[in-house]
Amino acid sequence: MLKLTKVSKIYEGKVAYRALTDINLEIDKGEFVAIMGPSGSGKTTLLNIISTIDAPTTGEVEMEGKNPHKLKKNDLAKFRRNELGFIFQDFNLLHTLTVEENIVLPLTLDGARVKEMKEKANKLANSLGISGIMNKRTYEISGGQAQRVAIARAMIHEPKLLLADEPTGNLDSKASKDVMEMLVTINQQEKTSLLMVTHDPQAASYSDRVVFIRDGKLHSEIHRGDSRQAFFQKIIDMLSLMGGDGNDFSSIRV
Ligand SMILES: Nc1ncnc2c1ncn2[C@@H]1O[C@H](COP(=O)(O)OP(=O)(O)OP(=O)(O)O)[C@@H](O)[C@H]1O
Ligand SMILES: [Mg+2]
């Protein structure tokens, strides 16, 4: 459903910086792919190009056979809202709104009916275990709850592709585990394709496949197989093989 062909990115500036070189990557419908690599290796840049927040310098992005970077401004905004869901490390919730208002925000932008919005929000909240906090403000809830609210908001449009940048970066290991299990459930039940950037090998071990990038290039990839525990160990081994600055993986929880 997603295909990147020889995608490169050069940030122009006083000194031009080559952040990505010739990235080829394909993601199937319903696949869950994690992207790992040292700090500064180009992970967020890659996600921004896929989400059309940023354009590649050269190369092609195709989603379901179409290149979103060629859409006109209005169509692009619609494409982003309808086809993609985003989850960020810092949740990106609006603090003046309640949990429920945050969740239905994307539908509000589309002018959906209130009844329909509430129904959808309640269904999601039930499956994510946040029904009890719908009327709270976002500063009255925990980090793990906030991340689940962010997931609900990303899912309310039933996106084909869910993009997540460090979704467990601000969570403790229990909350991380909960969030990862929810993402896997969504991935399996809704057949939503999932692309997640993470530093956390534990989180990555929930995916079907981990793609490692280093210095803006594809380094290697490993597939999950039957055992998540064995996959976790393979991920750890690959990270140490890739080496780099010890600080790069300071967020590893074993
Ligand atoms: N807007 C920008 N202008 C210039 N250089 C940039 C810009 N954004 C990122 N870079 C550079 O591109 C490289 C890749 O950055 P990117 O944010 O993609 O890394 P990352 O893999 O997400 O790192 P982290 O794990 O720390 O989030 C870095 O060297 C960064 O300094
Ligand atoms: Mg990043």
Q: Would the pLDDT of 29 be above 90?
A: yes
Q: Would the pLDDT of 253 be above 60?
A: no
Q: Which of 233, 45, 50 is nearest to 159 (CA)?
A: 50
Whether the Cβ atoms of residue 190 and residue 15 lie closer than 8 Å to each other: no
Q: Average pLDDT in the 204-210 region?
A: 98
* Matching residue, tokens 């600080």: 247
Write out pLDDT tens, residues 4-21: 999 999 999 899 999 999
CATH superfamily of 2-248: P-loop containing nucleotide triphosphate hydrolases (3.40.50.300)
Which residues fall inside 5 Å of ion ligand 2, going by CB? 44
**Alpha carbons 188 and 168: distance in angstroms, whole number:** 19
Query: Would you give the DSSP letter of residue 111?
Result: T
Taking each helix axis from N to C end, the angle separating 173-190 and 143-155, rounded to the nearest 10 degrees, works out to 20
Q: Average pLDDT in the 185-213 region?
A: 96
Write out pLDDT tens, residues 79-112: 888 899 999 888 889 999 999 999 999 888 778 8
How many A from CA of 173 to the centre of ligand 2?
20
**Percent of the chain's residues with pLDDT above 90:** 76
Write out pLDDT tens, residues 116-143: 899 999 999 998 999 999 999 999 999 9
DSSP secondary structure, 146-211, as one string = HHHHHHHHHHTT--SEEEEESTTTTS-HHHHHHHHHHHHHHHHHH--EEEEE-S-HHHHTTSSEEE
Whether the Cβ atoms of residue 175 and residue 143 lie closer than 8 Å to each other: yes
Nearest protein CA to atom 17 of ligand 1, as residue:
44
How many A from CA of 55 to the centre of ligand 1?
14
